[in-house]
């Protein structure tokens, strides 16, 4: 069993508990009653490289990263620094996240918020919208083509935007075949957790310029941001480097300044 398989198995166990507490009909109702989702694409399509800044306490590969007592304050700092969107880990077992973090961040910022979780069931999409998410993550490696399409359609029906994550040429081809406008390249192999920043460039070329390309993982310095920007990234998703920095406002600004194209 790969690390990805183990994480998804845990997600499904936690999901059963969520469903027992809040029935699907109630979550659907809450999703319909939530304020309209924000559109992240204008910032992602702008000339300046967009920074998706992550609220992340832990990782499966490195354990504890930061004791984030106030995720709302951290997200507000990210916004002040010029982040285009905020990513919030809501998976509790490996990442120490929660839907409460998502609620707190959504209430604190005026920019789009991504629910960063392993989305494997329609319940999670209604749940994401009910808690104020504007984007959700669809990991190609964790989904069949049918699931990818159904979940993308549901995301759109709820007014949210899907960030479709890839890691291999085959996954890129599957994402392109689906016609998705926002595609990420994860420099971390979710089956081994190894990071290789060299992953991005060839897959970005394979994606072409007809989609918004997001570089994920392995971006630890402004120089890394400048590199992937030169290789075609329209946006970067940064977590560890920001939560460990000590000056989130300055860190965001340094990533943006170094990556001017």
Active-site amino acid positions: 54, 56, 116, 165, 186, 216-217
**In sequence order, what E strands does 93-244 have?**
113-116, 135-139, 161-166, 182-186, 212-216, 235-238
Q: Which token pair is 50?
A: 């967009």
- Dump the DSSP string for 87-132: EEE--HHHH---HHHHHHHHHH-SS-EEEES---SHHHHHHHHHTT
Instruction: Note whether 96 and 54 are within 8 A (CB).
Output: no
The CA-atom distances, in angstroms, between 232 and each of 51, 133, 145, 189, 225 are: 14, 27, 26, 20, 11
In 3-state terms, what secondary structure has residue 149?
Answer: helix
- Residues with Cβ within 8 Å of residue 90, at least 6 apart in sequence: 97, 98, 99, 101, 102, 115, 116, 117
Q: Give the C-alpha separation, 236 to 239, whole Å.
A: 10
Q: Residues 147, 154: contact at Cβ < 8 Å?
A: no
What is the Cα–Cα distance from 82 to 50, expressed in whole angstroms? 9
């Amino acid at each position: 069993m790969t690390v990805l398989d183990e994480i998804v198995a845990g997600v499904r166990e936690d999901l059963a508990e969520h469903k027992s507490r809040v029935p699907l009909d109630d979550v659907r109702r809450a999703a319909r009653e939530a304020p309209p989702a924000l559109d992240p694409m204008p910032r992602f399509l702008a000339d300046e490289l967009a920074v998706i800044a992550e609220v992340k306490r832990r990782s499966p590969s490195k354990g504890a990263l930061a004791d984030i007592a106030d995720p709302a304050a951290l997200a507000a700092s990210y916004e002040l620094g010029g982040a285009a969107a905020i990513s919030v880990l809501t998976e509790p077992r490996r990442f120490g996240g929660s839907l409460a973090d998502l609620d707190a961040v959504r209430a604190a910022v005026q920019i789009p918020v991504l629910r960063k979780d392993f989305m494997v069931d329609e319940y999670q999409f209604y749940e994401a919208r009910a808690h104020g998410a504007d984007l959700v993550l669809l990991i190609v490696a964790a989904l069949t083509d049918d699931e990818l399409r159904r979940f993308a359609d549901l995301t759109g029906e709820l007014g949210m935007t899907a960030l479709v994550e890839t890691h291999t040429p085959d996954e890129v081809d599957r994402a392109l075949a689906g016609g998705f406008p926002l595609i990420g390249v994860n420099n971390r192999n979710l089956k081994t957790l190894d990071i290789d920043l060299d992953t991005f460039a060839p897959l970005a070329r394979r994606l072409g310029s007809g989609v918004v390309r997001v570089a994920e993982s392995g971006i630890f310095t402004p120089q890394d941001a400048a590199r992937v920007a030169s290789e075609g990234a329209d946006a970067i998703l940064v977590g560890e480097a920001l939560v460990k920095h000590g000056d989130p406002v300055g860190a965001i600004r340094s990533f943006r300044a170094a990556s001017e194209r």
